[in-house]
Structure 1
Amino acid sequence: MRDEEEIREQYEFLEEQLESDEMNHDGVERMFTYYKRAIGWVLEEEHI
């Protein structure tokens, strides 16, 4: 189970990465993977 601080850190990391001017196709694909993982954590928290 993830705590709120961990989810918040993940969100901030994603935000920084998406704002980066160096984002390329691979980077965007990797960010979507992280995003889906973070969303999964939130949903996991709500269903437990």
Structure 2
Amino acid sequence: MRSEEDVREQYEFLTEQLESEEMRHQGVRELFTHYKRALGWVLEEEHM
């Protein structure tokens, strides 16, 4: 299992990628959105 710091870094990276101008393609945006949401769930579950 990854450490919390690794997961947070990945989450922040994906957030930045979603906000960049290069991420205009809707399919790619949706994929990253789902991945970002999954990482958020992992962080929430570990802190319950």
* TM-score strictly above 0.5: yes
Greater relative contact order structure (CA < 8 Å, 6+ sep): 1
Pick closer, same or farther for the CA change 1:45–1:2 going to 2, 3 Å: farther
TM-score by length of 1: 0.67
Structure 2 counterpart of 1:44: 45
Q: Which protein has the bigger helix share?
A: 1
Aligned residues: 47
Give the CA RMSD over aligned residues. Answer: 1.7
TM-score by length of 2: 0.67
List structure 1 runs of 4+ shifted beyond 4 angstroms: none
Report sequence identity in percent.
Answer: 47
